[in-house]
Structure 1
Amino acid sequence: KAERLIAEGAARGSQLLVFPEAFIGGYPRGSSFGLVIGNRSLKGQEEFRKYHASAIDVPGPEVDRIAAAAAKYKVHLVMGVIERAGFTLYCTVLFFDSQGQFLGKHRKLMPTALERCIWGFGDGSTLPVYDTTIGHIGALICWENRMPLSRSALYAKGIELYCAPTADSRQSWQASMTHIAVEGGCFVLSANQFCRRKDYPPPPDYVFGGSDEEPSAETVVCAGGSVIISPSGTVLAGPNFEGEALISADLDFGEIVRAKFAFDVVGHYSRPEVLRLTVNDQQFDSVAFSSGTEAPKEKDGNNFDDVVSIILNEEIYSKSTKELSSGNALNVESRDRQKERSKSKSNEKSKSRDNISKSTGK
C-alpha cells in the first residue's frame, strides 16, 4: 500500500510524502492488550506477540524496500512505522531522500496513555532535522507535538518542513497544527490515519475497547484530518475528513522569511539570558560494555582521562538514595580531581602527625 501511494504521489509531482503515525506495523487502536493494573492476560500476551511480529527492524528489509521506492519515484519520504528493537517496540518516523538514502529516524519521546505499556520511550539522540535538497525536514509524532520544549529543539535546528504524523482526528488537533506553523515559522504537514472498524481484525480475535459496545464494521474509528499549513497559519490543503486521500500543496519558501521577520522564536524573539533550553542528545542504553569503548588515555602516569565518570562504590562516590533518584542531577567530580583531593587530605593528615610528634618530643 505504501508503494502504491508513493507512486500516486510522485505522479502528481510531489517531492515530499508524509505518512501517518504507525502506517507500517499498525496503530493498535481500541486494544488493551489484556492489561489491568497488576496483571496481563494470556490473550493479551499473544496479541502483543503478533503485534511484535508485524513491526519492522531498522535497518532491515522493509527499510530497504521503502528506500528503493523513494529512489524509484525520486521523492523524499517521512514514514511512520512501528520499530522492533529486540523485544521492545518504538513508534518511529523514518526519513528518506529522493536518492533512496535512509537518512535516519525519530523515536517518539512520550507515548500517550496506554501506548506507554506497548512502546518504549525515545531519547534525545533521535531528534533530527535533515538538510535536504528541498529544505530542512524533521518530525514529531502525535501528542509530543504539544511538548513545547521538543518543538523548540527542532526550531533551533532550523526546521522548515515540520512533519507531524498523528493518530488524532479531533478538531483541537487542527488548532495545534496552526499554532506550531505560526510559532515555528515553518510549513506544517500533518498526516493522519483514516480507518474504519473493518480495517482491524474482527472479534473475538480483536476486541475494540474504549466504547460501550463493539463498533460496526463501517464505523469510522479515526476520521483523518490530514492538513498542510503555511508559516502564516494559512491552511493550504485539507483538512480531509472524507476518507483515504492524498492532499498536496505548492510551498513558497519565501513565506518562512516573511513570517520570521515578525516572529523568530529561537532568534530575535527569544531571551536566552532569561529562558534557555538544554537538550540532552546522547543515546542511552540500559547496558554499556567497556570493551566497546576506547581505552582511557594515559595522563600523569595514571590511566585517567578528563571525562567525568560515575563509579557507584564507597571508595569513589557516595550519595544518599534521595540524591540518586530519577530526575536529580549528579554533580560528579572527575577522577583526577578526586585523586588530587584525596592526596591533599593525606598530606594534611601527614602534617598533623608531624606536628603531634614534634609536640610530644618537646
Structure 2
Amino acid sequence: MKTYPKFKAAACHVAPVYFDTPATIDKACAWIAEAAANGASLVAFPESFVSAFPVWCGVWAPVDTHEFFVKLASSTVLVNGPEIDRLRAEAKKHGVFVSIGINEGTPNSFGCIYDTNLLIGDDGSILNRHRKLVPTYWEKLVWANGDGSGLRVVDTRIGHIGALVCGENTNALARYSLLAQGENVHISSFSPRWPTHPPGEAAYDLEASIKLRAGAHAFEGKLFNIVASGFLPPEAIDMISRGDPRPRRLMEEASKSVSMILGPDGVPISPILRDEEGIVYADIDLERCVIPKQFQDVVGYYNRFDIFDVNVNRRAQSPARFSDQDSTEPYGEPGWSGAPQATSSSAEV
C-alpha cells in the first residue's frame, strides 16, 4: 500500500550580507541549523540570496550601475565551489534538504551571471541546478538567460520537489513542465522588493502578485508551495541609494515581498512574514494532495493529450562545443548534462 510522506517545511524570510559571500554563507548555515533544530526537513532561502538581489537596476540608470555590477560579479559562486561545499556539508550534517538562490558565476566569462536556484539533498549532494529562464524587466541588465536543463522534479524521501524563480512562477509552461513530472512540493523564491514606477505613482504590488501566483500553482497542481522571499535591510538601502533621496524613496515605497507556505487548496497554512527577518514553518502531509486530484488533475484525466502536445528542451546550453572536451564532470562548463547527480535521496527524472 502506498504511503505519503509527512514533514515540516521552513521558508526563510531573510537578507544576505550584500556582496559579502563568506558572511552570507555563514548566515545561511546558521539559519539551516536553526530550522533543523525546530524540526524542519526542508529549508528554503530566497532568490539570489548569495549574495545580493540587484535592486539597484530598478532605481538607477544603467550608466550609473557599473560599480554594483562589478561587486556582484566578484561575489558570485560556482556550483562546484567551496562556498556551496559548505552549504552541502551543513545540509548533510543536519539531514535536511536545502533550496537556495545564488548568483552563479561561470568559468566561461567573468561577466556572465545566472540567477540560479540550487536544491541540495539531505546527504549533501546537488540534486538540481535551475538557472532562471528569462530575467525579468531590468534584471536583464545583470543576469543571463538560463536554459531548460534545470526544469526537473527530484524524487526524494519527502516528496517530488520542483522549483521556479520569481517571475517564472507566472510562466504557465514552465509550471506545467514541473507538474508533468509529478511535482507535489514546489519552491517559489522571490526578490525582496521590485520597483517599477516613479515615486508617488501606483506601482507593482509584489505581495499581491506573490499570493496570486503561489496560490494559483498550489491550486492548479494540488500541491504544497513553499514561498521564500528576500528581505531588504536598511543598510542595503543606504548603500544602494548613495545618499540620493530619489532611489531611496523608490526602494522604500516599493511593496515588500512576503514568505509563506500554502496548501493544495492555494490557502496559506503558515504565518506570512513581511516586515522583518524570520522563518515560517508548516507541517506538510502529502496525502492532502490526493483528493483534490479527483476534482481536477491537469496532468492526468483532466487534460487532452491528443489535443495539446508540450515539448520541453532540457539540453544545457553553452557558448561553444569543443570536440576534445571532457564532458563527464558534473556541473562542468559547458558539458554538464543537466541531470541530477545520482544519490540515495534522488532519482533522475
TM-score scaled to structure 2, two decimals?
0.76
SS of 2:281's partner is coil
Partner of 1:184: 221
Structure 2: distance between partners of 1:132 and 1:204: 43
Partner of 2:45: 19
Residue of 86, 90, 97 corresponding to 2:114: 90
The change in CA–CA distance for 1:216 and 1:125 in structure 2 (over 3 A counts) is closer
Structure 1: distance between partners of 2:154 and 2:60: 39
Alignment of 1:204-219 (within 5 A): 205=242, 212=246, 214-215=248-249, 219=252
Structure 2: distance between partners of 1:259 and 1:170: 26
Q: Residue 195 of structure 1 contacts residue 222 of structure 1 at CA under 8 Å; is this kept in 2?
A: no
Question: Alignment length, in residue pairs?
Answer: 285
Structure 2: distance between partners of 1:125 and 1:141: 14
Cα deviation code 1:206-236 (max 9, x no counterpart): 868xxx453499x476633111111122210
Runs of 5+ in structure 1 lacking a partner? 295-362
The change in CA–CA distance for 1:63 and 1:278 in structure 2 (over 3 A counts) is same
Cα deviation code 1:244-265 (max 9, x no counterpart): 1100111111111111121111
Question: Is 2:73 aligned against 1:73?
Answer: no
Q: Residue 232 of structure 1 contacts residue 255 of structure 1 at CA under 8 Å; is this kept in 2?
A: no
Partner of 2:317: 284
Structure 2: distance between partners of 1:32 and 1:183: 32
Cα deviation code 1:315-334 (max 9, x no counterpart): xxxxxxxxxxxxxxxxxxxx
Partner of 1:240: 273
Partner of 2:83: 62
Structure 1: distance between partners of 2:303 and 2:226: 25
Residue 63 of structure 1, CA deviation: 0.7
Structure 2: distance between partners of 1:7 and 1:222: 30
Q: Residue 226 of structure 2 contacts residue 261 of structure 2 at CA under 8 Å; is this kept in 1?
A: yes
Residue 73 of structure 1, CA deviation: 1.4
SS of 1:105's partner is strand
**What do you get for the CA RMSD once the two structures are aligned?**
2.3
Structure 2: distance between partners of 1:199 and 1:117: 19
Q: Residue 200 of structure 1 contacts residue 206 of structure 1 at CA under 8 Å; is this kept in 2?
A: no
Amino acid in the other structure paired with 1:214 = R
Question: Is 2:57 aligned against 1:31?
Answer: yes
SS of 1:202's partner is helix
Structure 1: distance between partners of 2:322 and 2:263: 47
Q: Residue 197 of structure 1 contacts residue 220 of structure 1 at CA under 8 Å; is this kept in 2?
A: no
The one of the two structures with greater contact order (alpha-carbon pairs below 8 A, sep at least 6) is 2
Partner of 1:47: 68
Residue of 133, 139, 156 corresponding to 2:180: 156
Amino acid in the other structure paired with 2:234 = R
Cα deviation code 1:100-147 (max 9, x no counterpart): 112221000011011112101111111121111111111000011100
Partner of 1:197: 234
Structure 1: distance between partners of 2:34 and 2:55: 27
